[in-house]
Amino acid sequence: MNQPVNWTAVASLARSIWSAVGPLIGVLVGANIANRNQRKHWLLDNRRAEYRKLLTTLTRAYGDIMNTYSQAGITGKDMHRCERVRLNAINVIRDRIFISEEVTKMELLEKWNSAAVTFIKDRNYELFATRFSEVMDSLRRSAFKILD
């Protein structure tokens, strides 16, 4: 024998289940959205920090190399210090994690190293300044893209 379905009882049961389960689903969905937003902001903050570190390191290296080679009577110690500064800049370029793709596309390592090594060999201040400005401009353009 078939018993008729009591739709009123089914609706009442569904409402009582939903009143217990609904808020839990809402909390889970809200937590998922919050986690995604936090991760997005965390990645963005790390990318900004890496750009900042890169810009600062290259600017300091450029200044140190220019100041050292503009002096009269450069010693071996000065040259050794400039080499350490150049290599430190290279290490900072290579150590980027969150912006490594952009750094590779810009060929930043090759451009920086070529500019520094060429300057150390021929001491063409104007060429070094021009090449450094090109490196910094491309870095800034790339950094501003993440702000959009």
Residues in CB range of 117: below 8 A, 6 or more apart: 86
**pLDDT for position 1:** 54
Q: Are 111 and 59 in contact (CB under 8 A)?
A: no
Q: Are 65 and 119 in contact (CB under 8 A)?
A: yes
Position 38 in a domain: no
Tell me which residue range forms the domain holding 88. Answer: 44-145
Position 19 in a domain: no
User: Tokens 């140190």 label which residue?
Assistant: 64
Position 29 in a domain: no
Residues in CB range of 105: below 8 A, 6 or more apart: none
Number of domains in the chain: 1
Position 18 in a domain: no
**pLDDT for position 134:** 96
**pLDDT for position 12:** 83
Q: For 73-91, b where at least 16 C-beta lie within 10 A, e where not — what string?
A: eeeeeeeeebeebbeebbe
- DSSP state at residue 4: P
The most distant pair of C-alpha atoms in the chain lies apart, rounded to whole Å, by: 110
| Selection from 58, 77, 50 nearest residue 116 by Cα | 58
Helices and strands, number each (H, E), in the chain: 5, 0
Reading the block at residue 26, the tokens are 């809402």
Residues in CB range of 90: below 8 A, 6 or more apart: 109, 112, 113
Rg of the chain (C-alpha set): 29
pTM over cut 0.85: no
Residues in CB range of 60: below 8 A, 6 or more apart: 85
Position 21 in a domain: no
Position 37 in a domain: no
Tens place of pLDDT for every residue, the chain, 148 residues?
Answer: 567 777 887 788 888 888 888 888 888 888 888 888 899 999 999 999 999 999 999 999 999 999 998 887 888 898 999 999 999 999 999 999 999 999 999 999 999 999 999 998 999 999 999 999 999 999 999 999 887 6
Position 39 in a domain: no
Position 77 in a domain: yes
